[in-house]
């Protein structure tokens, strides 16, 4: 039997290169080898977007188009939407009964996101419980492996703690502790050199046209000390060089030597990057556009995924209810 693997993505907007290399690239590779479950975490999005009046369903369809266009294959993996499976909410509630508050208050993403997102009231029960919902997502499918970005490691650790507590309290070994699986790619810098993120406005999206890619990369930050063409650069601190590592691994030595000796300028370096990024994003962009022209076909894919996911989810929840003796 194949091992079970699960991961989720929030529908907080279009997918960008940081999302792709941070997680989705791994999803595509791992769907071959594992019994993979991939879902859009629309309820998680609600924990911070509840005041925004955004259409989460629309964003969900867009993310699904992004995922399929990027290589997630609904015939190999089970692709579904979290809120289509009510058992996520039920298991979340049950886990919330046994999760001590201090475990949640010390979650690093809880503290940092609260500080990062200004002007939103994140002082809610739901937002504090974000990682409990994530633990429910993972254990509902009794997942062995969870491919995520490094920023999620504490959430997986917390999932293991909840599993241990559940098993101890109810004298069972029903749940097995899951393991995280990180991507091999380092965190991607955005056009301003900070971590690529929608909220920083520095991201390159899968929906970007060739012209937009060209403009964004042409003006992307480089080594700040390299002001003139004749200045020698330091590729180790240059965000463009970090992208070269992903898109032009074979040219890395040559570009590094050229930069350090001022043999090439930043414009020359970027000229080697731009067409490669364009030909990487191009086919994904075109495919996502075609998919989005037929939203009912996307809904059909999601319904098939939900039916399959629900069978597993129901099995787990039936077992859990009997273990905790409410059934
Ligand atoms: N918290 C994850 C993120 O922001 C998304 C997510 C929700 C998730 N539930 C999950 C990831 C379960 C892995 C497993 O990226």
148 in contact with ligand 1, CB cutoff 6 A: yes
Task: Enumerate the β-bridge partners of residue 148.
Answer: 182
State in Å: Cα 22 to ligand 1 middle.
Answer: 12
In 3-state terms, what secondary structure has residue 307?
A: helix
Task: Give pLDDT, residue 322.
Answer: 98
Claim to verify: residue 285 and residue 218 sit in the same structural domain: yes
Residue 200 included in any domain: no
36 in contact with ligand 1, CB cutoff 6 A: no
Claim to verify: residue 156 and residue 42 sit in the same structural domain: yes
Pocket test for ligand 1, best of 9, 48, 129, 181 (most atoms within 8 A of CB): 9
Residue 193 included in any domain: no
Residue 202 included in any domain: no
Number of structural domains found in the chain = 2
Average pLDDT, the chain: 95
Q: How would residue 285 be classed by pLDDT, with cut points 50, 70 and 90?
A: very high
Claim to verify: residue 151 and residue 280 sit in the same structural domain: no
Claim to verify: residue 317 and residue 237 sit in the same structural domain: no
Task: Give pLDDT, residue 186.
Answer: 82
134 in contact with ligand 1, CB cutoff 6 A: yes
Sheet strands side by side (includes 35-40): 78-81, 35-40, 4-9, 145-148, 179-182
Claim to verify: residue 24 and residue 101 sit in the same structural domain: yes
Please provide the DSSP assignment of 162-210 as one string. Answer: HHHHHHHHTT---SPPPEEEE-SSPPPB-TTSSBP-GGGT---BTT--H
Which segment of 112-126, 196-210, 242-256, 268-282 scores lowest on mean pLDDT?
112-126
Residue whose CA lies nearest to ligand 1 atom number 3: 9
Claim to verify: residue 84 and residue 174 sit in the same structural domain: yes
Q: What angle do CA 136, 142, 147 make, to 5 degrees?
A: 80
How much is the average pLDDT of 66-95? 98
Pocket test for ligand 1, best of 43, 82, 148 (most atoms within 8 A of CB): 148
CA dihedral 262, 263, 269, 271 (to 10 degrees): 130
Residue whose CA lies nearest to ligand 1 atom number 14: 7
> Does the pLDDT at position 136 exceed 90?
yes
44 in contact with ligand 1, CB cutoff 6 A: yes
Pocket test for ligand 1, best of 41, 79, 145, 181 (most atoms within 8 A of CB): 41
Residue whose CA lies nearest to ligand 1 atom number 6: 8
Residue 203 included in any domain: no
Claim to verify: residue 170 and residue 76 sit in the same structural domain: yes
Task: Give pLDDT, residue 109.
Answer: 85
41 in contact with ligand 1, CB cutoff 6 A: yes
Claim to verify: residue 179 and residue 225 sit in the same structural domain: no
Residue 195 included in any domain: no
Claim to verify: residue 88 and residue 9 sit in the same structural domain: yes
> Does the pLDDT at position 103 exceed 90?
yes
How much is the average pLDDT of 220-248? 95
Residue whose CA lies nearest to ligand 1 atom number 9: 134
Q: What angle do CA 111, 176, 179 make, to 5 degrees?
A: 55
CATH number for the domain including 243? 1.10.240.10
Alpha helices in 190-265 (DSSP H): 210-218, 239-247, 252-260
Task: Give pLDDT, residue 69.
Answer: 98
Residue whose CA lies nearest to ligand 1 atom number 8: 8
Other beta carbons less than 10 A from residue 194's beta carbon: 12
Other beta carbons less than 10 A from residue 267's beta carbon: 10
7 in contact with ligand 1, CB cutoff 6 A: yes
Please provide the DSSP assignment of 55-99 as one string. Answer: -HHHHHHHHHHHHHHTT--TTTSEEEEGGG-THHHHHHHHHHHH-
CATH number for the domain including 25? 3.40.50.620
Residue 123 included in any domain: yes
Residue 205 included in any domain: no
Claim to verify: residue 73 and residue 179 sit in the same structural domain: yes
Closest ligand 1 atom, residue 134 Cα: 9
Query: Domain range spanning residue 158?
Result: 4-188+295-323
Q: How would residue 272 be classed by pLDDT, with cut points 50, 70 and 90?
A: very high
Closest ligand 1 atom, residue 137 Cα: 12
Task: Give pLDDT, residue 154.
Answer: 95
Structure tokens at 227: 């002001």
**Are the CB atoms for 220 and 28 separated by under 8 Å?**
no
Task: Evaluate the CA torsion angle 126, 130, 131, 135 in order and state its sign.
Answer: positive
Q: How far is CA 181 from CA 27, 148, 184, 253, 308, in A?
A: 10, 6, 9, 29, 24
Task: Give pLDDT, residue 36.
Answer: 98
Claim to verify: residue 313 and residue 175 sit in the same structural domain: yes
Q: Which run of H or E residues covers position 323?
A: helix 295-323
138 in contact with ligand 1, CB cutoff 6 A: yes
State in Å: Cα 148 to ligand 1 middle.
Answer: 7
Claim to verify: residue 276 and residue 314 sit in the same structural domain: no
């Amino acid at each position: 039997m194949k091992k079970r693997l699960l991961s989720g993505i929030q529908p907080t907007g279009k997918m960008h290169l940081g999302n792709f290399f941070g997680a989705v690239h791994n999803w595509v590779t791992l769907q071959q080898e594992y019994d993979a479950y991939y879902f859009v975490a629309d309820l998680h999005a609600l924990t911070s977007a509840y005041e925004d009046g955004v259409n989460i369903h629309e964003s969900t369809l867009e993310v699904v188009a992004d995922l399929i266009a990027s290589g997630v294959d609904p015939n190999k993996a089970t692709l579904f939407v979290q809120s289509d499976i009510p058992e996520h909410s039920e298991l979340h509630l049950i886990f919330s009964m046994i999760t001590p508050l201090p475990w949640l208050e010390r979650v690093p993403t809880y503290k940092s996101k609260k500080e990062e997102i200004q002007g939103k009231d994140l002082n809610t029960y739901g937002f504090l419980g974000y990682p409990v919902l994530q633990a429910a997502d993972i254990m509902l499918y009794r997942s062995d492996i969870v491919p995520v970005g490094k920023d999620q490691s504490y959430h997986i650790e917390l999932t293991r703690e909840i599993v241990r507590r559940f098993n101890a309290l109810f004298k069972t070994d029903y749940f097995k502790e899951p393991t995280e699986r990180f991507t091999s790619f380092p965190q991607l810098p955005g056009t301003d050199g900070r971590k690529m993120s929608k909220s920083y406005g520095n991201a390159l999206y899968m929906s970007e046209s060739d012209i937009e890619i060209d403009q964004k990369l042409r003006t992307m930050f480089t080594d700040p000390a390299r002001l003139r063409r004749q200045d020698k650069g330091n590729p180790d601190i240059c965000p463009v060089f970090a992208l070269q590592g992903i898109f032009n691994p074979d040219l890395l030595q040559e570009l590094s030597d050229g930069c350090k000796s001022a043999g090439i300028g930043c414009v020359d370096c970027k000229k080697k990057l731009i067409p490669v990024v364009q030909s990487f994003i191009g086919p994904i962009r075109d495919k996502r556009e075609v998919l989005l022209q037929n939203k009912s076909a996307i809904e059909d894919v999601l319904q098939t995924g939900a039916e399959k996911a629900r069978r597993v989810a129901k099995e787990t929840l039936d077992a859990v209810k009997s273990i905790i003796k409410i059934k």
